[in-house]
Amino acid sequence: MTTSDRRRRLGLITGASRGLGATLARFLAADGWSLVVTARGREALDATANALAAYGTEVRALAGDVTDRDHRAALVREVSEQGRLDLLVNNASDLGISPLPTLARYPPAEFARVFRTNVEAPLALTQELLPLLERSSGLVVNISSDAAVAGYPGWGAYGASKAALDLVSVTLAHELRDSGVAVVAVDPGDLRTAMHQAAFPGEDISDRPLPEVTIPFWAWLLHQPRAAISGARFRAQADRWELPS
């Protein structure tokens, strides 16, 4: 792959203003990727985009909510101008109510809101960007959580949404196998982020690692054959990563 080809790679990251999304964006920018980044908070997103520009790559920042159809349309238009999409990272997530209530007392409207952000929006954005992903034999990464499989008290709404996203991911992978588009789910593990702090208001979470702990995983994942990884669910902080048998 020539330097010119490498610089033509384009990634779109949602929830990119801070935490894991910003960390992954920095990793990709340092590797020469062009980026489209989005998040709800304009000020934090612009600050992240300005920092990414220091790597000498092209960065477009569009603030907005991925549950908003018009915002997703703006993202699609932005990516379409580039003519390709090599990587879509559906990282934007909604923790839900904080402090975390039990499922037995979870307000249905709030439960539905979590699913709109964590399941419906990633699927809708993937659908809308699929022609560009197919053109580039792209990779879709849906950010999951250990809450999807653990049944932690208080994490029911968030965990259920991430379990649903896991199923969406593997189903899409099977359905898109002949299109050249790969889909994976990634559990990044416990991280010292604003969202994790919101789950434990007033508690010290300094024992959790920073999102940079996941960088070796991303370096590994992005160099694997797309067809070999599609349909897998990876734990970014695992001792080792293996291709599905």
- DSSP result, 15-82: S-SSHHHHHHHHHHHHTT-EEEEEES-HHHHHHHHHHHHTTTS-EEEEE--TT-HHHHHHHHHHHHHH
Q: What's the rounded Cα separation, in Å, for the pair 111 and 191?
A: 23
Q: Does the annotation mark 158 as catalytic?
A: yes
Cβ(187)–Cβ(233) below 8 Å:
yes
- DSSP result, 35-54: EEEEES-HHHHHHHHHHHHT
Neighbours of 54 (CB within 10 A): 11
Catalytic residues: 158
